[in-house]
Amino acid sequence: MITDQKAIRALAWSAIDRTCQQLVQLLVGILLARLLAPDDFGLMGIIMFFAGVSYTLVEGGLGQAVIKEHKNAHQYYSSVWYMHMAFSLLIYITFFLTAPLIAKFFHQEHLTQIIRVLFCALIFNAGYLIQYTQLTIQLNYKAIAYINFISTILSGIAGITLAYCNVGVWALVVQQVSYHFIRLCAFSLHTRWKPQGRFSTEFIRKYGRFSANLLGTGLLNALFTNLYAFCIGKLYPIKQTGYYTQAQRQNDTIQFTFMSIFNSVSYNLFAQTQHNIHHQKELFNKIIHKANLLTIPLFIILAATSPALFDLLLGKQWIPAIPYFQLLCVSQLFTITDLLCYNLLNARGNTQLTFRVECLKKGCMLFSLLLLPIGIHYTLIAYIGICWVFTIIWLYLVHKEITLGVRSIWQDLVPAIAIGCIAGCLIWNINILIPQATPGWMLTKISIGFTTYALLTAKVYPHLLHEIKIIIKTLQSNKDE
């Protein structure tokens, strides 16, 4: 039985994990952006298209299937681990052999060796996926937080050290590989779990279709997450790809922070309350309310402050990336809403439905690529429209599934949008009146924006401070566990 205290504690530790991890990654990313050239990030942007697909193939929806079978999951651990390792080795061999062809396609001979080294991380990743799933089922996000933080710090130090040694894109490669290797060691040491017994086909027979639908959806997301960078790399100079990749990288730092906080926790909670629709509906309402209040205003404020942020933190060489970052922020306003709807429907067994919706969305994104030869900006504007339309579709599907009141959802969305727009417009006007990008003025603009956000939130949601205090007390009461 999932109690409110367990749910709060899991969500809070997940938030601490992602916030700390992404803050470190942001700092490391800023230092690497100052030390490396746009061309280096352009090369990584191309490779991440293939890497993203590969990581998804290795996971294969198996982790979520194990979570769904949480009561008897232990009997399937070894079989799932064997499948993860087999997939990772097969994919690594495939890319090892085809790396020269990929390098020739993009006219970048360096890609051959980069791919062969970078994809070692895929095998390390496969080695710890089941241990990560075990801790997720136990709602032990505290242990996950410590492991992620240590891995991010050590891999970041490795990347920065090599960047100072002027090795170029190899600093980014070593950062990726070392991150997954350290996680493999840490998860193995913490769980003390080792694969045992023979491979069993029972899990495949029982959850094959469920995992296949999740794999299909995951593949679509992985393909299209880096598809724009892939196509830009083919149609535009590698430096332009670097600008877009940097904008996407900074946007993803914020986006993935919140997605990681709400993804595994929300799916786990929805899966364990799937037979109690009333409790599930209450959980959904609580989570989506907090998520929108956090994410929507933040993305608007980031879009407004991005000119000063990019200039001061990343350097003047990255100023051409600012418009891309602003458009990506606008496109991600409702990403967490989409994620929560997606997880709720999957937890209730509607993986085929979510897969079809994702197929439709990705088809629309393919049409947006027709605008790419005209300009990257036009493609991103079309992408914004697609994202917003599909948010409405996701909310409608959840409304049909659990009879969720549409009015209650809009009561959460509209105030969050209004708060973000007021704070964002205030910063935007200050940027026009005071265009200086000195550290003092930048901090002033950011402070004004977030102070406005905090005051408006306190006015519209006076009970929120009390709920935050409850979360802090819950963490303190469990600190020795």
Q: Tens-digit pLDDT profile for the chain (481 aa)? A: 455 566 667 777 777 887 788 788 888 988 998 888 888 888 888 888 888 888 888 887 777 777 766 555 566 788 888 888 999 999 999 999 999 999 988 888 888 999 999 999 999 999 988 888 888 877 788 888 899 999 999 999 999 999 999 888 999 999 999 999 999 999 999 988 888 777 767 767 777 777 777 787 778 778 887 788 888 888 888 888 889 988 988 888 778 777 777 776 777 778 777 677 777 787 787 788 878 888 888 899 888 888 878 877 888 888 899 999 999 999 989 988 898 888 888 888 887 888 889 889 988 988 888 898 888 999 999 999 999 999 999 988 888 887 777 677 777 788 888 888 888 888 888 877 776 666 777 777 777 878 888 888 877 777 766 666 665 555 445 444 4
pLDDT for the residue numbered 112: 92
Q: State how far the alpha carbon of 304 is from the alpha carbons of 152, 439, 479, in Å.
A: 28, 16, 38
Residue with tokens 């027709």: 370
Q: How buried is residue 481: exposed, middle or buried, by Cβ count under 10 Å (0-12/13-18/19+)?
A: exposed
Q: Which two tokens stand for residue 236?
A: 């535009």
Q: How far apart are CA 166 and CA 189, in angstroms?
A: 34
Q: Is 383 helix (H, G, I), strand (E, B) or coil?
A: helix
Q: How many other CB atoms sit within 10 Å of the CB of residue 238? A: 21
Of residues 298, 394, 380, the one with CA closest to residue 346? 394
Query: Which pLDDT score is estimated for 480?
Result: 45
Residues 6+ apart with CB under 8 A from 92: 119, 120, 122, 123
Print burial letters for 140-169: b (CB count within 10 Å at least 16), e (below 16). bbbbbbbbbbebbbbbbebbbebbeeeebb
Alpha-carbon distance of 365 to 377, in angstroms, equals: 14
Find tokens 């989409």 and name the residue: 338
pLDDT at 70: 57
Q: For 171-221, give the DSSP string.
A: HHHHHHHHHHHHHHHHHHHHH-----S---SHHHHHHHHHHHHHHHHHHHH
pLDDT at 479: 45
What are residue 193's phi and psi, to 5 degrees? -90, 140
Torsion of the alpha carbons at 160, 164, 165 and 169, rounded to the nearest 10: 60
Q: What is residue 472's predicted lDDT score, i.e. its pLDDT?
A: 53
Q: How many CB atoms lie within 10 A of CB 105?
A: 13
| Domain range list for the chain | 4-477
